[in-house]
Amino acid sequence: MSSNSSTGYKIGLLILVAIAIAGISAWVYQIQTGLIVTNMRNSFSWGLYIAMWAFFVGTAAGGLVVSSAIYIFGAKEFKPIAPVASSTAFIFAVGAMVMILPDLGRIDRIFNMFLYPNFSSILPWDLIVLTTYALLSAIYTYVLLMPRIAEKGVLGLLKKDLDGDELKKLQLKSERYAKILAPIALPFAILIHTVTAWVLATQLSRPWWYGGLLAPTFIAAAIATGPAVVILACLFVFGYEERLKNAYKLLAKISASSSAALLFMYYNDFVVRYWWGEGLDFEALAIVFRDYLHIHTLEITFILASIVLLASAKTKSRLIAGSISVNLGVFFHRFLLMPPSYNIFPFKMDGWSYPIAVGELRGSLMNPLLVFVDYWNYIPSSIEITITAGIVAILTLVLIGLLRILPVEGDSNV
């Protein structure tokens, strides 16, 4: 980590710490005041937090891609980066669960999820698969690092004095355990995206989500963003090393082809919705082009740019630009999950939507605002944005800390 002591890096860390503190303060303020500080209301009851939850579940896919590529497809070039990849998987699986917390009205009752789980709801299942995946990723990271931890220690602890023979044995053990763990983790890695998608896709009341296509697009978005996150984390740890060039290239290719698959499925769905020209499915699509064309343009531009950049990324700057681009694109893609689903609602008669009470007294006696609305122009409030940015900053800081503490850097042990 040669560049890690540079001024730029330190300034970057300071900025992250500042954002994290701002985010925590905003969260404390939100807990004190209530979710009224968000711009969500009764007719638009999930917003940025839920979009970010879906986003983080996607970015946690990196661990899966790398470990399955090694043990199922025999991609040996990934071996040196496997611990970094599984660390990102752990951080973002935990991050997805953390992201739900600010969305809860009664965070103090979160233990009810364990006391009274209702298994006909998809949410407890999502909690189960996310927890399992996070745990497996943590164990997997540890297993991969066992020999190096024994050699170098973690924060000066856990260091063992091993002779050559014992170290060799430990390396074989690590290898064996990793081979057992990878296929166990794989189904969970697929399930986290699938089950998260099902939370939304099972809702007949939300024609923008309902249907079988949401889970495949979630997996495509995950395999597009996951490797991009791994690329960024590895560039941070190792830099653009000669021996890793092939690994980077392959990760970038995986991301680019998955982005292409995502766009294909997305527009395939658009055509199906568009053709009939009537009905709720069509209206949800129409809202995207009528009211959210700017966000749609952003998502498509960034995802397309990332495909171009990552399809054959031969330089460090291309890798960085492409990886950031795909994450931005998928972030806008995630945000666009919300507006068409809340503003198009089945309680309609001849094109007229039955309005919903906002949930807040707005305006004044002489200038009253609508009590019942059939459309809610949701733009995240500054508090929502600050909390979300704070969580992103904290996750990044924890990831950086983890990558610095753990001996992920050492030479490949095989």
Residues forming the site for another protein (CB under 8 A): 33-36, 38, 40-43, 45-46, 100, 103-107, 109-110, 112-113, 115-118, 120-124, 127, 199, 203-206, 345-347, 349-350, 352, 354-365, 371-372
* In the complex, least distance from residue 205 CB atom to another protein, rounded to whole angstroms: 4
* In the complex, least distance from residue 72 CB atom to another protein, rounded to whole angstroms: 34
* In the complex, least distance from residue 187 CB atom to another protein, rounded to whole angstroms: 22
* In the complex, least distance from residue 375 CB atom to another protein, rounded to whole angstroms: 11
* In the complex, least distance from residue 373 CB atom to another protein, rounded to whole angstroms: 10
Which C-beta is closer to another protein: that of 79 or that of 206? 206
Which C-beta is closer to another protein: that of 47 or that of 147? 47
CA distance linking residue 341 with residue 267, whole number of Å: 17
DSSP-based three-state secondary structure for 157: strand
For residues 345 and 3, is the Cβ–Cβ distance under 8 A? no
Which C-beta is closer to another protein: that of 155 or that of 365? 365
Identify residue 379 by its one-letter amino acid code.
I
Strand partners, 352: 349
| DSSP string over 208-256 | TT-STTHHHHHHHHHHHHHHHHHHHHHHHHH-S-GGGHHHHHHHHHHHH
Q: How many residues are present in the chain?
A: 414
Which C-beta is closer to another protein: that of 106 or that of 294? 106
CA distance linking residue 377 with residue 353, whole number of Å: 15
Which C-beta is closer to another protein: that of 41 or that of 334? 41
* In the complex, least distance from residue 121 CB atom to another protein, rounded to whole angstroms: 5
* In the complex, least distance from residue 104 CB atom to another protein, rounded to whole angstroms: 5
For residues 249 and 312, is the Cβ–Cβ distance under 8 A? yes
Quickly count helices (H) and strands (E) in the chain. Answer: 14, 4
Which C-beta is closer to another protein: that of 22 or that of 127? 127
CA distance linking residue 80 with residue 243, whole number of Å: 9
Which C-beta is closer to another protein: that of 105 or that of 156? 105
Nearest to 81 by CA among 412, 355, 314: 412
